[in-house]
Structure 1
Amino acid sequence: MTPSYSIVVPTVGRPQLAALLGSLRTACAGGPQPLDVVVVDDRPFPDADGGRNQDLDLGRDPVPGVRVLRTGGRGPAAARNVGWRSVRTEWVAFLDDDVVVPERWAAALEQDLATAGPDVAGVQGRIVVPLPSHRPPTDLERNTAGLETAAWATADMVYRRSALRTVHGFDERFRRAYREDADLALRVRTAGWDLEHGVRFVEHPVRPADDLASVRAQAGNADDALLRTLHGRDWRTRTRAGRGRLPWHVATVAAGLTAVGSCLAAVGPASPGRRAARASAVLAGSAWAGLTAAFATQRLAPGPRRGDDGYGPELRRMVLTSALIPFAAVGRRVLGTWRWRRVLGGEVPAWPPPIRAVLFDRDGTLVHDVPYNGDPDAVEPMPGARRVLDGLRDDGLWVGVVSNQSAIGRGLLTSAQVDAVDARVRRLLGPFDTWQRCPHRPEDECTCRKPEPGLVLRAAAELGLLPAECAVVGDIGSDVGAAVASGARSVLVPTEVTRREELSAAPVVAATLDEVVTLL
């Protein structure tokens, strides 16, 4: 029997997405069809409160059954988590939005899954980077080609959902497309699973980039600092990341700063101290120049030769960026180390972090659902609501409300009427640390109406928390959907309006509000 699988594609709206989705139609024609294809749009939400969702170009003829979820710019780790948590298949295939999927990819995937034993958590596909044949590759092209030997890169990686559940998915503290896949693979293997390489492959073309792209890429050094904080000094060996250049960059920066400091100390009338400072400046400056020249030469040597097309621009880029990269790399590493030691306290925390806030739906969860209620006197708390809330407050947890109130957008109630009902809820149930509501109609296609994540993200931001530090409690599927889309955890407390399919799809179900506390 063919294992069931879904496809998850995180995207920031790159134009290559439409081509990928179109190619998947052909690639899946010769093999098993995915039960679900989820495109996770991780572009930041519009600045306007609850602004309209942006359109995403899926192409003219994408693979059938594409669903689009939106995460608001929280990074690829969060986007992939939203994707795999929204499906129910045995396997989840992650693809980058700029890869090219060849024909028969699905048939090769079927072969990879069929040979995966019960202890195998994931199977990596080969990544092929097309390089020019008429000249040596540029620095950018060689860096992209490094994906061909990267361990467990999610450009084409399929994971078993049970393994992802075991380790709680990707660590969303990795905000860039860098190291989040290595961290996941390490945690999966530490949990006792195996990872394998498969026979399928995808192509990963080299994307155009400006002259300073390699300097901006040094932001990944902050993620290296997080990996070291989480996994210790031997993280490079354990994640198969290879050796880095940071020690050489540190030496280059030290020489450069020493040269500048010595030059400043040498300013003024001649004296033995200033003569020594000038000698130090010359020595340190020579060391900086030598290290920088060696770095530039090392990067230029495998690249285009004089007379090759692109040689001039490549020479200019290498000279400029070789002088800037050491300072960018060291600066990012220092800032990253300071940040994570300050935030994490130097300890090795588990992922996900502990819950620090519980966000409740209002109608049907905290108070009885009175459709389009504008009368404060009609507010009646659900059984045990005040007791549960007070218990959470006593335990040091923040509590909040995230509520759809489309009656405002429909013109059935005024904001003042809803304010009066909300005030009555507070009087009956006690103070709340955050209160977020969406006044929009479904047809407004806003970013805040549940199951969109906007309300939960706003609540987490107001409390200064990661979404993963929040839990959402509600009575219908849109409450669970908002939790999934935002990266929060969820508990469904069903009522008579909860549909059967919502109940079966919910990750965690509590019979009563009192039971919620035991499940957090």
Structure 2
Amino acid sequence: MTPASREAPAGVSYSVVVPTVGRPSLGALLEALLKSLAAAPGPGPREILVVDDRPAPGTPLPLPGAAGPGLRVLRSGGRGPAAARNVGWRAATGEWTVFLDDDVVPSDRWAADLAADLAGLPADVGGSQGRVTVPLPPGRRPTDWERNTAGLESAAWITADMAYRRDALTATGGFDERFPRAFREDADLALRVQDAGCRLVRGERRTVHPVRPAGPWASVRAQAGNRDDALMARLHGRDWRTRAREHRGRFGRHVATTAAGLLALAALPARRPAAFGAAAAWAALTAEFAAARIRPGPRTPDEIARMLVTSVVIPPVAVAHRLRGELAHRGAGPWSPCPVVLFDRDDTLIHDVPYNGDPARVEPVPGARAALDRLRRHGVRVGVVSNQSGVAKGRITAADVGRVNARVERLLGPIDVWEFCPHDDADGCACRKPHPGLIERAAARLGVHPSDCVVVGDIGGDMQAAAAAGARGILVPTGRTRPEEVGAAREVAPDLAAAVDLVLSGARPGRPR
């Protein structure tokens, strides 16, 4: 069945996640995506989540003027594309999460073909990959960088356009955030999803991946990916390339080239015969590498000069990165999401102002920003779970709570998940602390079990909610904390900094602190 003849079924529940560092290409992607969605029959995505992974807010993102209410911007704090995608899918509400890179352009039929790709897939299918096209310049041979980009057309399970079931992401913990670059994190997830018993398939939807401009040292900088290859081998065994449908690469030759060069340098001062043999081997290997890169290219003087220089530099740089990766990941085990710390809001992160609906009255408690930033630097996700009975009492509205929460986030940095209970005691809900509902909802949205969460609060109700959910509780007493609540708490910290110490040290009751 050709793409043009396929019917786009209704009822496919999906969300779109686009991690970005603010590149101008994001605007072209979103415009093409919205155009495709407008032309498609049936419902669109639950939401489009753009995850801004810049360490700090910069120039405004190039968002379409008429993006609609379904487009939201989240922040992931500059922790890399794996962490940004995790922030996105954990906030998504669709059965499927479709990941798009911020430099691709979906076709006009992309949305309709996506719905057809996903509709009716068997339950054992955990992911569906789109088809990527890399346009190369007409009238000349492609450069080395352009050929590298064109390799995306045949790459398996790349997140330039990849949809995963939420259940598959939850079961595996999502992307392994130890991969800091846009490299290998997609192959790692694909292998783990398949190890969990899910199949991955290719769909018929199409996206275009233009070749980004690159400087003369782009191929040298790309050698940092050898560190990620070391992690892949540690996690998936030496045959990971075969399983991930990756070509073998040239690393073995880079090792030989580097060894020959080092031997020549070591033996040259003594003018030993081995020096000349090693130098000849180095020259031959380097020449072969340069020729393999020059031969299929445009062979312009600039390209030839660039290939000659970088072919000398790449082998030792690649080996150095691999050694760094082997050392850094020598004890690496299976990926497990970092713990989640869920904070009470009032009198824990900000001073309590009863029934406050005015963002101007928000004042963080001392040390709150430093404590949250320290957790973020360690890759720990943070959330807020808060009772807001003022909504049920008519003293404030849910919109007021949202505005106050937005002010808290501006002062204290990005919060991965917000959950609040708008009910009063008499409503008999399951979410108002000391019930576990808020914690369970926050954990579900972040794709973790409540037992992976730490709850930090200032009253006994916070600790009771943690216990009811199976989470760990740390009490940080304030002036309103009753002595019997302090006595009943399993863990007590004098302030937020000490509570973070307990979280990061892994200390538990019964251990010295």
TM-score for both structures, normalised by structure 2: 0.73
Per-residue deviation, 1:132 = 2.1
Deviations 1:10-52 (A, max 9, x none): 111111111111111211123241120111111121xxxxxx6
Per-residue deviation, 1:497 = 7.4
Counterparts of 1:365 and 1:492, CA distance in 2: 15
The SS at the match of 2:466 is helix
Structure possessing the higher relative contact order (Cα contacts under 8 Å, 6 or more residues apart): 1
Would you say the 8 A contact 1:38–1:66 is kept in 2?
A: yes
Per-residue deviation, 1:209 = 0.5
Counterparts of 2:72 and 2:257, CA distance in 1: 49
- Equivalence for 2:75: 70
Q: Does 1:519 align with 2:508?
A: no
CA gap of 1:358–1:129, structure 2 versus 1, over 3 A, is closer
Number of residue pairs aligned between Structure 1 and Structure 2? 416
Counterparts of 1:286 and 1:336, CA distance in 2: 30
Would you say the 8 A contact 2:20–2:26 is kept in 1?
A: yes
Per-residue deviation, 1:372 = 9.7
Of the candidates 276, 287, 295, which is equivalent to residue 293 of structure 1? 287
Would you say the 8 A contact 1:42–1:76 is kept in 2?
A: yes
Deviations 1:57-97 (A, max 9, x none): 21444466311111121111011111111111111111111
Structure 1, unaligned runs of 5 or more: 46-51, 267-274, 306-310, 374-404, 420-434, 439-454
- Equivalence for 1:361: 344
The SS at the match of 2:113 is helix
- Residue type of the partner of 2:188? D
Q: Does 1:474 align with 2:385?
A: yes
Deviations 1:218-263 (A, max 9, x none): 0000011111111121111222222121110000000011111112
- In the TM superposition, what are the counterparts of 1:321-470 in structure 2 within 5 Å? 321-341=310-330, 345=331, 347-353=332-338, 355=339, 358=341, 360-361=343-344, 363=346, 369-371=352-354, 410=360, 435-437=367-369, 456-461=372-377, 465-467=378-380
Counterparts of 1:497 and 1:288, CA distance in 2: 76
- Equivalence for 2:98: 93
Provide the alpha-carbon RMSD of the alignment.
3.3
Q: Percent identity?
A: 52
Counterparts of 1:85 and 1:254, CA distance in 2: 46
Counterparts of 1:165 and 1:364, CA distance in 2: 32
The SS at the match of 2:443 is coil
CA gap of 1:366–1:57, structure 2 versus 1, over 3 A, is closer
Per-residue deviation, 1:412 = 8.3
Q: Does 1:318 align with 2:318?
A: no
CA gap of 1:367–1:178, structure 2 versus 1, over 3 A, is closer
CA gap of 1:140–1:209, structure 2 versus 1, over 3 A, is same
CA gap of 1:83–1:153, structure 2 versus 1, over 3 A, is same
- Equivalence for 1:430: none
Deviations 1:301-350 (A, max 9, x none): 11114xxxxx1211111101111110111000000110111xxx2x5233
Per-residue deviation, 1:406 = 9.2
Deviations 1:141-194 (A, max 9, x none): 110010001110000011111111111111111110000000000110000111
- Residue type of the partner of 1:349? P
CA gap of 1:288–1:63, structure 2 versus 1, over 3 A, is farther
- Equivalence for 1:37: 48
CA gap of 1:457–1:190, structure 2 versus 1, over 3 A, is farther
Counterparts of 1:360 and 1:258, CA distance in 2: 58
CA gap of 1:473–1:299, structure 2 versus 1, over 3 A, is same
Would you say the 8 A contact 1:167–1:188 is kept in 2?
A: yes
Of the candidates 220, 245, 254, which is equivalent to residue 250 of structure 2? 245
Per-residue deviation, 1:115 = 4.0
The SS at the match of 2:328 is helix
Per-residue deviation, 1:506 = 3.1
- Residue type of the partner of 1:458? R
The SS at the match of 1:313 is helix
Would you say the 8 A contact 1:138–1:304 is kept in 2?
A: yes
Counterparts of 2:72 and 2:158, CA distance in 1: 24
Per-residue deviation, 1:514 = 3.2
Would you say the 8 A contact 1:475–1:495 is kept in 2?
A: no
- Equivalence for 1:425: none
CA gap of 1:492–1:333, structure 2 versus 1, over 3 A, is same
- In the TM superposition, what are the counterparts of 1:158-173 in structure 2 within 5 Å? 158-173=163-178
Counterparts of 1:302 and 1:99, CA distance in 2: 25
- Residue type of the partner of 2:30? L
Counterparts of 1:235 and 1:287, CA distance in 2: 30
Counterparts of 1:225 and 1:216, CA distance in 2: 17
Counterparts of 1:10 and 1:491, CA distance in 2: 20
- In the TM superposition, what are the counterparts of 1:185-224 in structure 2 within 5 Å? 185-224=190-229
CA gap of 1:283–1:297, structure 2 versus 1, over 3 A, is same
Counterparts of 1:90 and 1:359, CA distance in 2: 25
Per-residue deviation, 1:519 = 3.0
- Equivalence for 1:283: 277
- Residue type of the partner of 2:34? R
Counterparts of 2:68 and 2:212, CA distance in 1: 24
Deviations 1:457-508 (A, max 9, x none): 33343xxx3225xx646326859x97xx9697x7968585799899596335
The SS at the match of 1:475 is strand
- Residue type of the partner of 2:464? D
Deviations 1:396-429 (A, max 9, x none): xxxxxxxxx998xx4787x9xx55xxxxxxxxxx
Deviates more, 1:189-198 or 1:495-504: 495-504
- In the TM superposition, what are the counterparts of 1:101-116 in structure 2 within 5 Å? 101-116=106-121
Counterparts of 2:280 and 2:130, CA distance in 1: 46
CA gap of 1:286–1:23, structure 2 versus 1, over 3 A, is same
The SS at the match of 1:29 is helix
- Equivalence for 1:401: none
- Equivalence for 1:376: none
- In the TM superposition, what are the counterparts of 1:125-140 in structure 2 within 5 Å? 125-140=130-145
Per-residue deviation, 1:6 = 1.1
